[in-house]
Amino acid sequence: MKTISTAKSHGGIQGVYAHHSTACACEMTFAVFLPPRSGAKPLPVLWYLSGLTCTHQNVMDKGEYRRLAAELGMIIVCPDTSPRGQTVPDEPDNWQFGCGAGFYLDATQAPFSANYRMYTYLTEELPALIASEFPVDMDRQGIFGHSMGGHGALTLALKNAGRFRSCSAFAPIVHPSTAHWSTDAFTKYLGEDQAAWRIYDAVSLIEDGKRFPEFLVDQGSADSFLDNGLQPWLLETACKDAGIPLTLNMREGYDHSYHFISTFMDDHLNWHAQRLAV
């Protein structure tokens, strides 16, 4: 691991780091906010997954999480959204696929299967690195995200319910198998057989028997992607049928941007803090 930058913020340290990823076969960059800490007690960790076109930088610059994370004593880890580099296959003119659009899955189709292995990266490789380099309590992990990252948070939580104590999302893609901006990516990453898509689809995972204790979702009513891309009512139905408690807050007049996310960031941090026993 190498340090790209560090800066003091709210008594803690916001760092940006890079390392060579075996899972993604390229250099990966991630951010970690380490709050002020007294003593040797390890701290809970909250993972934030960003959306389409984003990197670790977007939430760092616009998410407004550091003040409260410092007060609560929570480490915030912000991975990148996909592999990157000259050797990584990409479609530069397609913002819904390739670099910036990894969808937090393990691709099975060539040539993307060599690098687009974000699920393995986030469930195995990066957690091992974080555990070795930072004072984290890996028994107290939560996960949240925005849009494509909300999709990632929901699916990672459902598939790893014993690892995460809490999960929330801002405007998540809840059913990517039917969303207009993810079906093309799923076809290219996973192939034509839609049965293979179900393990990376929150609604399908719930329908297929996966469970999580509860979810928190915030969704803006003025989000231009609401009807064709996000469809939170599908998650609401799936959770109701499965008996999974879901708090779905429809936020009147809010859009898909970080103006929306930053407005309700404190609500999500406090919600996770309660469940991580901060």
3-state SS, residue 216: strand
User: What is the rounded CA–CA span in Å between residue 276 and residue 164?
Assistant: 9
Whether 40 shows a pLDDT value over 90: the answer reads no
User: What is the rounded CA–CA span in Å between residue 58 and residue 78?
Assistant: 10
Q: Phi first, then psi: what are they for 250, rounded to 5°? A: -90, 115
What's the Cα-to-Cα distance from 216 to each of 10, 182, 190, rounded to whole Å?
26, 22, 28
User: What is the rounded CA–CA span in Å between residue 131 and residue 165?
Assistant: 17
Q: Which of 147, 166, 168, 204 is catalytic?
A: 147
- Domains of the chain by range and CATH? 2-275 (3.40.50.1820)
CA atoms within 13 A on the CB side of 218: 25
Confirm whether 10 is a catalytic residue.
Answer: no
> Which element (helix H / strand E) includes 250?
strand 246-251
Quote the tokens at residue 67.
Answer: 């003040």
Q: Which of 80, 106, 223, 272 is catalytic?
A: 223
Whether 138 shows a pLDDT value over 90: the answer reads yes
Confirm whether 166 is a catalytic residue.
Answer: no
Confirm whether 223 is a catalytic residue.
Answer: yes
Mean pLDDT of the chain: 97
What's the Cα-to-Cα distance from 30 to each of 101, 174, 204, 235, rounded to whole Å?
16, 25, 29, 29
Percentage of the residues of the chain whose pLDDT score is greater than 90: 96
Instruction: Tell me how crowded residue 246 is: count the other CB atoms within 10 A of its CB.
Output: 17
213-225, pLDDT tens digit by residue? 999 999 999 999 9
What is the pLDDT confidence band of residue 38, given thresholds at 50, 70 and 90?
Answer: confident
Q: What is the radius of gyration, based on Cα positions, of the chain?
A: 17
Across 19-23, average pLDDT:
98
Quote the tokens at residue 205.
Answer: 């995972």
